């Protein structure tokens, strides 16, 4: 059974960089897309971007200037970096498998950016 687990700071100061890592267990990263999705408190899901196991990426146009996703398949991990954060980036951040049908999700991690 594939499992994903997000890790990283729960509090990030304004203008700093949000950094999260997703660790994949119970399966290989090979041949799959790996995605980051966020959900502000009380709001809907927002797609952030994905990475293919071999390194190709795609990002949300609204976040593209601030976001980067990388992967370390030797560690079965992929990571998210979001620069210059503001209070609007406060959200539960999920990592998930897949590109057009996200079948496995992490439990999510709340990242707060104080205003």
Partner 1 sequence: QSALTQPASVSGSPGQSIAISCTGTSSDIGADKYVSWYQQHPGKVPKLMIYEVNDRPAGVSDRFSGSKSGNTASLTISGLQAEDEADYYCSSYTTSTTQIFGGGTKLTVL
When the beta carbons of 36 and 79 are compared against partner 1, the nearer one is 36
By CB under 8 A, residue 53 contacts partner 1: no
Say which DSSP state 15 is in: T
The three-point CA angle 71-73-78 to 5° equals 30
Q: What is the dihedral of CA 99, 102, 106, 110, to 10 degrees?
A: 80
Say which DSSP state 83 is in: -
Q: How many residues bind partner 1 (CB under 8 A)?
A: 22
By CB under 8 A, residue 25 contacts partner 1: no
By CB under 8 A, residue 10 contacts partner 1: no
By CB under 8 A, residue 90 contacts partner 1: no
List contacts with partner 1 (CB under 8 A): 35, 37, 44-47, 50, 58-62, 94, 99-103, 105-108
């Amino acid at each position: 059974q594939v499992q994903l687990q997000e890790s990283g700071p729960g509090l990030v100061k304004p203008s700093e960089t949000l950094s999260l890592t997703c660790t994949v267990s119970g399966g290989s990263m090979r041949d799959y897309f790996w995605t980051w999705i966020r959900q502000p408190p009380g709001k809907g899901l927002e797609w952030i971007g994905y990475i293919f196991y071999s390194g190709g990426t795609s990002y949300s146009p609204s976040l593209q200037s601030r976001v980067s996703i990388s992967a370390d398949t030797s560690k079965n991990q992929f990571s998210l970096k979001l620069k210059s954060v503001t209070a609007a980036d406060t959200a539960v951040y999920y990592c998930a498998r897949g590109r057009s049908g996200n079948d496995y999700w992490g439990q999510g991690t709340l990242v707060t950016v104080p205003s």
